[in-house]
Amino acid sequence: MKLIRFKKAQEKIAMGFLSYIPSEKMLRKLQETIQQYLCDENSQLFLYKEAEDYIGLIGVELDELNKTYTIQHISVNPSFRGEGIGYEMVKELALIYPGYQCKSTDFTEQFIQSCKRKEEGADF
């Protein structure tokens, strides 16, 4: 697995990835988003690491009652875009949360739908 659960020590790395997302560009918004992932046990943030480099980020909101997770944020280093990293992160989430259904937000819906088309019949 290449997804690593986010820790406070990786805050600047995570903020860098979040800043690629248009709705997260302002510093105050970035800080609020990071605090949500640090403080809310239903919000989980993961960094995607390959060798020694972090190259992506994916954040989810868990709904234990309904056995779903909603992908809130997804970001890949521009140098690695188009290589299937986002798709790999989504596939790894399905392994981390077996038996859960993957949902999307308005922001992540188009990407998640393209992942589902790639992997017909997957559990995410």
pLDDT tens per residue across span 24-77: 989 999 999 999 999 999 999 999 999 999 999 999 999 999 999 999 999 999
Residue 12, classed as helix, strand or coil, is helix
Q: 68 lies in which domain range?
A: 3-118
Residue 85: partners with Cβ closer than 8 Å, 6 or more residues away: 48, 55, 56, 76
Rounded CA separation 112/34 (Å): 22
Rounded CA separation 108/76 (Å): 13
Asked if residue 123 is part of any domain, the answer here is: no
Residue 66: CATH number of its domain:
3.40.630.30
Model pLDDT for residues 16-32, shown as the tens digit of each residue: 999 999 989 899 999 99
Asked if residue 82 is part of any domain, the answer here is: yes
Helix ranges restricted to H, the chain: 11-18, 27-39, 85-96, 109-118
Contact 59, 14 (CB under 8 A): no
Asked if residue 35 is part of any domain, the answer here is: yes
Asked if residue 49 is part of any domain, the answer here is: yes
Q: Provide the whole-model pTM.
A: 0.91
Residue 93 has pLDDT above 80, yes or no: yes
Q: What is the pLDDT of residue 115?
A: 85
Please tell me the total count of domains within the chain. Answer: 1
Token readout for 85 is 């990293």
Asked if residue 23 is part of any domain, the answer here is: yes
Q: What is the pLDDT of residue 121?
A: 57
